[in-house]
Structure 1
Amino acid sequence: MRITVVGDVLLDVDINGAATRLSPDAPVPVVDVADIRRRAGGAGLVATVLAHDGHEVALVTALGNDDGASHLRRALTGVSVLAGAPLAPTPTKTRVRIGTHPMVRFDEGCAPAPIPLSTAEMLAAIASAEAVVVADYGRGITTNPDIRTALAEAARRVPVVWDPHPAGSEPVAGVAVVTPNLAEATASATTGGLDPSRTGAEEAGRYLLGKWGSGAVLVTRGEDGAVLLSAGGRAQGIPALKTNVADPCGAGDRLAGSLAVHLRLGLELAQAATKAVEDASAFLAAGGAASLAVVGEAPAASPAVEFKGLELVDAGDLSPDGVHLARAVRSRGGTVVATGGCFDLLHAGHARTLAAARSMGDCLIVCLNSDESVRRLKGAHRPIVSVEDRAELLLALECVDAVVVFGEDTPEACLSEIRPDIWVKGGDYTPQELPEARLVAGWGGRCVTVPFHPARSTSGLAAALAKVS
């Protein structure tokens, strides 16, 4: 199913460890950090969950060029990110956990932000969607007038599920379902004049149903399930499966995404809402949002220029990585060189091209297509060699300092993180003809091409091997 998620993205950081002693300078626990895991939050979490379910997901959001945005792009592998300029830093929420218990949370960059910009591609993703989920986290994306117009038009033809936020904008009229939690619903209703002592989920939902002009309102109540209200219908309580969880983070995001899917599949409203509540409970039972952390790292010393390492963007947990290496080299006045490709069967032509690229600077970082990316580009019979083995072979070459695996069809997102001074590609065209030329020039880099080596290619090597197999 082709689903577009519209909303604000956050970077969630989990610092996990154990505490066995108190600090000598204050009566506070000392946390021995075991790992640091980063994941997409807010609308990014909705998109990630839907992508994991196998849907084709486009995320319409705002994303900057800071470190937080770089981590978000890695966490959003498998999602088509269509982003306007946010004019604000990436909001980051860092949770410190001892075992499974959250101890403290730090928020950075979460102050009110200007209204983000939109692009034609963002509006087209809304127009072409089979279902839309709006995950409003109060950062302004749903305030953009062009996006609101596109959402109102989408609501006339496909299911639109809107998960609101107290600091966000009101849903556009005509959306299928709005999914406030109980606290949000009662606060909005009492602001509208209802008696807080007599306002529960049903009363608040009825008020919001008329205020927002939506097809239905589903007031979520955590472990107590939800209450569904629709125009002309009776309130319907929906129980939730009992789960023993320490952190309910992400349940509402899971519910909103599932609800849109079930509505698109043709389920009646009550059936779709019941299934969505069940999905949210199952999501928490399976570990919740923390289980989706795809970028993990153990504490490490600052990388040296001679570092050789691998960063698996779509599933990795090794650090330092290629991005850190690039920053370290630049900080010492060095030149960062990058190249990219599938490198399915490593041959002499590859080795010569890589050696030539390394000679142009102080480090060489290889952007390597993931297995999924190779299949999309070259067909179901490729790759011949798995991404793990391809990366290991590349790192065995003295001229390669780091490998970064990317899951998209093109390396643009990967390049935006590394920001090489020189981007090297093999071919018989001019550097200006490279599709990455404009991107690399944006930060002052340049493109260089080196010639192909005749009679040395992956296809030729594969054909030769087939004759002797």
Structure 2
Amino acid sequence: MRTPAPLLVVGDALLDHDLCGRAERLAPDAPVPVVSAARRTSRPGGAALAAWLAAADGRPVTLVTALGDDEASEALVRLLAGRVRLIRLPLTGTLSSKTRILAQGRPLLRLDDGEGSAEEATEEACRAVAEARAVLVADYGRGTADVLREALTAAAARVPVVWDPHPRGNPPVPGVRLATPSATEARGFAARLEGGGDRDGDTPRDAGRPGAAAGEPGSPGGGLQGAARDAGRLVRGWRVASVAVTLGGRGALLSHGETPLLVPSPVTAEGDACGAGDRLAATAAGLLADGELTETAVRAAVHAATRYVAEGGVRSLAVDAAPSADRPDCGEPTDDALRTAARVRAAGGTVVAAGGCFDLLHAGHVALLQAARRAGDCLVVCVNSDASVRRRKGAGRPLVPLADRVRVLRALECVDAVAVFEEDTPERLLGELRPHIWAKGGDYALSRLPEASLVESWGGQVVLFPYLDGRSTTGIARRAASSPRPVHTAGRRRP
């Protein structure tokens, strides 16, 4: 297993708060909702959130940001302790803090405090940029990227740099490997290049991010044609290698200046999109640090951002900061599956599980898994180990070893995680996962599943899904074995 490469995050840190409660009536003195039983939570925001998420992928992360001696700055330092290494720049004013008021999980109001900005670069910060193997710039328009612009320009000529821009900030430095504006942001940046825009707006950072509502056809800059045009202009005008314009639930459009590549979201994710842009940028920057191609990094980043929203977004941060199941070949598959299920359950989502040998994955398997994923907020596939398959199917099985079966399953867009069980049946594993839905093919309709009572014991439900007739691993193997063998013609000329 490859060790994740270290990542340097440069940008403007924020401190975010959520006040979550219930709104069941209007105030008697004004037509406004009354939020009761509110619970307050705090978390890193801005560049600090991007650094937190990158560290959650299991990689060493250093954050260069401006902090002061105010209460918000010190609270943020405590939240980041033990997770990321901090390099502090001097801050003028107080750290920016944002408070969201939510009812039934939906934002009603946001309060902003503090307008602090980075005062100047330091020798330690410049040295960190000069020595970095990869850099993520999380620009929130508060000056950190500006005071380090000369060092970042030199870094972009040497190592991968991902730049997540802000409408109030300056353009990325030339040579950036990847810039990641939302569709609305890209429209504004392109207009600015043409001389028709301004920098006074404060577009929501996650408008147009995977899982967000913005970016659909008809929204500002949301059409594919408009996004492609804007991305091409930004590649040329900013002199960057590529631009990935995020399109909400449709995914992202990656442009190198010519014909763009559409990277679709694996599923439609409904939920709180706050921080989805940071999740996308952190994933892409980390994979570029590991030596992946830009297209590979963007594809994984879209999947990670979509999954982040589906699993509850920022509400899941306190549950687990361990390596993410979005990263291929990172950690044991069963551990990843348990963490994924815990995050979704803690965020109030629905955990779906399905099981089987999945030896010679075929269309029937895929149809079942796609239908199961649509029934909830994540899908965990429970797969038999090689020994378990042999006991169930005979000495000649499995045809495909476990490592390959897991790799193929994890590559499916509808699969969020894979767990392995050694026993003949998955009851022990199900007891750990505790899914809300246990999905099985319709061919079990006339029998009582042995695990049904177990799933029902914690309030779960066994659900049958239609099965495609005529598809089976055994049938495929039998037809392959009985097909005529090709005649070897080595040394013979073709007529």
Common fold by TM > 0.5: yes
Matching residue's letter, 1:278: H
Contact 2:66–2:118, Cα closer than 8 Å, also in 1 = no
Name the structure 1 match of 2:98. 93
Per-residue Cα deviation, 1:367-393 (whole angstroms, up to 9, x for no partner): xxxxxxxxxxxxxxxxxxxxxxxxxxx
Matching residue's letter, 1:162: W
Whole-angstrom distance in 1 between the partners of 2:19 and 2:318: 11
Name the structure 1 match of 2:150. 149
Q: 1:152 to 1:289 in 2, by over 3 A?
A: same
Contact 1:38–1:293, Cα closer than 8 Å, also in 2 = no
Shift of 1:115: 4.5
Matching residue's letter, 1:180: P
SS of residue matched to 2:234: helix
Q: How many residues align?
A: 290
Name the structure 2 match of 1:36. 40
Whole-angstrom distance in 2 between the partners of 1:68 and 1:90: 6
Name the structure 1 match of 2:279. 254
Whole-angstrom distance in 2 between the partners of 1:186 and 1:23: 40
Per-residue Cα deviation, 1:217-245 (whole angstroms, up to 9, x for no partner): 111111111111114x4211111133443
Whole-angstrom distance in 1 between the partners of 2:107 and 2:232: 35
Contact 2:271–2:309, Cα closer than 8 Å, also in 1 = no
Whole-angstrom distance in 1 between the partners of 2:176 and 2:24: 51
Shift of 1:286: 1.4
Shift of 1:114: 5.0
Per-residue Cα deviation, 1:179-204 (whole angstroms, up to 9, x for no partner): 11111111121233399999711110
Contact 2:271–2:310, Cα closer than 8 Å, also in 1 = no
Identical residues among aligned pairs (%): 43
Whole-angstrom distance in 1 between the partners of 2:249 and 2:291: 27
Per-residue Cα deviation, 1:372-429 (whole angstroms, up to 9, x for no partner): xxxxxxxxxxxxxxxxxxxxxxxxxxxxxxxxxxxxxxxxxxxxxxxxxxxxxxxxxx
Residue 126 (structure 2) pairs with residue 130 (structure 1)? no
Whole-angstrom distance in 2 between the partners of 1:52 and 1:268: 22
SS of residue matched to 2:299: helix
Name the structure 2 match of 1:388. none
Contact 1:223–1:241, Cα closer than 8 Å, also in 2 = no
- The partner residue of 2:288 within 258, 263, 266 is 263
Contact 1:243–1:284, Cα closer than 8 Å, also in 2 = no
Residue 222 (structure 2) pairs with residue 219 (structure 1)? no
- The partner residue of 2:108 within 103, 116, 137 is 103
Residue 34 (structure 2) pairs with residue 9 (structure 1)? no
Whole-angstrom distance in 2 between the partners of 1:244 and 1:253: 16
Q: 1:224 to 1:164 in 2, by over 3 A?
A: same
Contact 1:82–1:121, Cα closer than 8 Å, also in 2 = yes
Name the structure 1 match of 2:297. 272
Name the structure 1 match of 2:375. none
SS of residue matched to 2:181: coil
Per-residue Cα deviation, 1:84-133 (whole angstroms, up to 9, x for no partner): 111021111100111211111111124xx554222122122212222110
Residue 202 (structure 2) pairs with residue 201 (structure 1)? no
Name the structure 1 match of 2:259. 234
Whole-angstrom distance in 1 between the partners of 2:297 and 2:239: 20
Per-residue Cα deviation, 1:318-375 (whole angstroms, up to 9, x for no partner): xxxxxxxxxxxxxxxxxxxxxxxxxxxxxxxxxxxxxxxxxxxxxxxxxxxxxxxxxx
Contact 1:21–1:29, Cα closer than 8 Å, also in 2 = yes
Whole-angstrom distance in 2 between the partners of 1:106 and 1:242: 32
Q: 1:40 to 1:237 in 2, by over 3 A?
A: same
Contact 1:4–1:126, Cα closer than 8 Å, also in 2 = yes
Contact 1:134–1:161, Cα closer than 8 Å, also in 2 = yes
Shift of 1:293: 4.7
Contact 1:75–1:293, Cα closer than 8 Å, also in 2 = no
Matching residue's letter, 1:219: V
Contact 1:173–1:212, Cα closer than 8 Å, also in 2 = yes
Name the structure 2 match of 1:426. none
Contact 2:7–2:289, Cα closer than 8 Å, also in 1 = no
Contact 2:271–2:313, Cα closer than 8 Å, also in 1 = no
Contact 2:6–2:289, Cα closer than 8 Å, also in 1 = no
Whole-angstrom distance in 2 between the partners of 1:53 and 1:267: 15
Per-residue Cα deviation, 1:423-461 (whole angstroms, up to 9, x for no partner): xxxxxxxxxxxxxxxxxxxxxxxxxxxxxxxxxxxxxxx
Matching residue's letter, 2:153: A
Q: 1:271 to 1:114 in 2, by over 3 A?
A: closer
Residue 126 (structure 2) pairs with residue 118 (structure 1)? no
Shift of 1:42: 0.7
- The partner residue of 2:315 within 269, 280, 290 is 290
Contact 1:11–1:90, Cα closer than 8 Å, also in 2 = yes
Residue 49 (structure 2) pairs with residue 56 (structure 1)? no
SS of residue matched to 2:92: coil
Whole-angstrom distance in 1 between the partners of 2:291 and 2:55: 20
Whole-angstrom distance in 2 between the partners of 1:255 and 1:54: 16
Contact 2:66–2:117, Cα closer than 8 Å, also in 1 = no
Map residues 376-455 of structure 1 onto 2, 5 A cutoff.
none
Whole-angstrom distance in 1 between the partners of 2:306 and 2:38: 28
Structure 1: unaligned runs, 5 residues or longer: 295-469
SS of residue matched to 1:200: helix
SS of residue matched to 1:58: strand
Whole-angstrom distance in 2 between the partners of 1:114 and 1:261: 26
SS of residue matched to 1:31: strand
Matching residue's letter, 1:59: L
Q: 1:290 to 1:131 in 2, by over 3 A?
A: same
Whole-angstrom distance in 2 between the partners of 1:115 and 1:10: 12
SS of residue matched to 1:61: strand
TM, length-normalised to structure 1: 0.59
Whole-angstrom distance in 2 between the partners of 1:166 and 1:74: 29
SS of residue matched to 2:300: helix
Contact 2:249–2:269, Cα closer than 8 Å, also in 1 = no
Structure 2: unaligned runs, 5 residues or longer: 197-219, 320-495
Name the structure 2 match of 1:381. none
Whole-angstrom distance in 2 between the partners of 1:254 and 1:35: 25
Whole-angstrom distance in 2 between the partners of 1:182 and 1:169: 17
Whole-angstrom distance in 1 between the partners of 2:154 and 2:312: 36
Name the structure 1 match of 2:390. none
